[in-house]
Structure 1
């Protein structure tokens, strides 16, 4: 039996912190500790190794949640998810600079906690195929009369367009003459998941989920009703 995921909660509002803890325990997570300040969080991290940190931005102590997140990156390399009622441009810009594993806006649903934690851990532990299959993680596109290999790990998401599929990467788009169903059959066990009749996403690239949509950086992708359960099942880690 796998060990439960250990969570550190950094939240200075006791009622909210307790609600988060109760919800996560019902989902099977283990709460290592609830702390209210940056100093308490750092003291805990000196002696413990949680799998993930849930981090409010407005907390007690000498550091706010974003400055604390920078320290977590520098010293502990533990994934963290922000939980905050703040989503103004300045706050989001500062938060993005820490490369968080997720960002949940208060108020939120219990399912948002579970999904974002599982996504964060999926991103932190990407699924890699056996070595003898890694050569298949490349596809070829025609460019200037040549066949150019591209690594599937570069792909953020794939968009279907009738009998063609458009591979979106950080460096551009590449169109191949395959249906989305054909692509899905090859990638479903390799860290990719179909979330809509027109979209397949790379699970390691998802930044956050909000109700019926997910975000990969600034790109919003709908989650179709027919694919919702399969998507959430794909994220399950215990």
Structure 2
């Protein structure tokens, strides 16, 4: 039995975040933490490094999602921006592996997460999901 990939969700809209958590867990991922605060996200990431962090750009607290992504990147945690602000996500492309614009469905997110984790694991065989913008040039190229 393989260990499921671990995810960290940082989202300040609680109902969509809970739905996202449930859908990702139903798909076989382990959501190690769900928080709306960057400070709590960093504590969780330091405690157990997630395979991928899903980070909303607009957050409450001392930092926004872009500042959090910078901190997570220093820990080696890849970030997928989830945002209704695609222009800000593109402007911050150097600190994230990609972006999925709101509104998205849970199914869209499951496909995006599966794609990015496969790419991070070196598998470039999956087709790019609709609405996912990939930023990280270090990810293996699609054949």
TM-score range, shorter chain: 0.7 to 0.9
Contact 2:83 2:89 in 1 (8 A): no
Provide the C-alpha distance between the structure 1 equivalents of 2:76 and 2:134, rounded to a whole number of angstroms.
22
2:82 is the alignment partner of 1:83:
yes
Provide the C-alpha distance between the structure 1 equivalents of 2:133 and 2:16, rounded to a whole number of angstroms.
25
Deviation readout 1:184-224 (Å, 9 max, x if unpaired): xxxxxxx446x6xxxxxxxxxx6xx326xx7666xxxxxxx
Deviation readout 1:90-132 (Å, 9 max, x if unpaired): x13422121x2221111112221111111211222214xxxxx
Q: What is the number of equivalent residue pairs in this alignment?
A: 135
Bigger share in strand: 1
Contact 1:80 1:101 in 2 (8 A): yes
Runs of 4 or more, structure 1, over 3 Å off, are 214-217
Contact 1:80 1:120 in 2 (8 A): no
Q: Given the superposition, is the C-alpha separation of residues 123 and 39 from structure 1 closer, same or farther in structure 2, using an over 3 Å criterion?
A: same
Task: Tell me the equivalent position of 2:35.
Answer: 35
Instruction: Please report the RMSD computed on the Cα atoms of aligned residues, expressed in angstroms.
Output: 2.0
Provide the C-alpha distance between the structure 2 equivalents of 1:55 and 1:39, rounded to a whole number of angstroms.
13
- Unaligned runs of at least 5 residues, structure 2: 136-143
- Unaligned runs of at least 5 residues, structure 1: 128-190, 196-205, 218-238
Deviation readout 1:2-47 (Å, 9 max, x if unpaired): 1111111101111111011111111111111111111111111121
Q: How does 1:1-238 map to 2 (within 5 A)?
A: 1-74=1-74, 76-88=75-87, 91-98=88-95, 100-127=96-123, 191-192=124-125, 209-210=129-130
